[in-house]
């Protein structure tokens, strides 16, 4: 069995994957979009943290926690989007 595997791997070519022509612009756009989403998520996190600090005095802390949870989720999904897409492509 090992001989067959060694023979097959020595005979079969090992092609390297190349992106199709014209994809560079789309990749750049997606990279900029990902950075924008992460920056907006970070801004949402900071504003929610500030809101949480002030809401602690009025008893509306749950609103701040919702904002923090949503912004953390957005940042996680934006940073993991490439890995998630590689599963399906």
The tens place of each residue's pLDDT in the chain, 89 residues long, gives 677 777 767 766 666 777 778 777 887 888 888 888 888 888 888 888 888 888 888 878 887 888 888 888 888 888 888 777 777 76
Q: Which tokens belong to 24?
A: 């560079």
Write down the domain spans for the chain: 42-89
Identify the CA nearest to 44 among candidates 61, 67, 66.
67
89/84 Cα distance (integer angstroms): 9
What pTM, to 2 d.p., does this model score? 0.61
| Dist. CA 86–CA 89, nearest whole Å | 5
Distance in angstroms (rounded) separating the CA atoms of residues 41 and 47 = 10
Contact between 55 and 63 under an 8 Å Cβ cutoff? The reply is yes
């Amino acid at each position: 069995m090992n001989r067959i595997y060694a023979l097959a791997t020595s005979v079969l070519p090992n092609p390297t994957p190349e992106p199709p022509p014209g994809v560079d612009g789309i990749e750049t756009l997606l990279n900029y979009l990902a950075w924008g989403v992460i920056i907006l998520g970070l801004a949402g996190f900071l504003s929610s943290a500030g809101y949480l600090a002030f809401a602690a005095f009025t008893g509306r802390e749950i609103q701040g926690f919702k904002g923090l949870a949503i912004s953390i989720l957005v940042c996680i999904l934006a940073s993991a989007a490439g890995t998630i897409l590689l599963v399906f492509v």
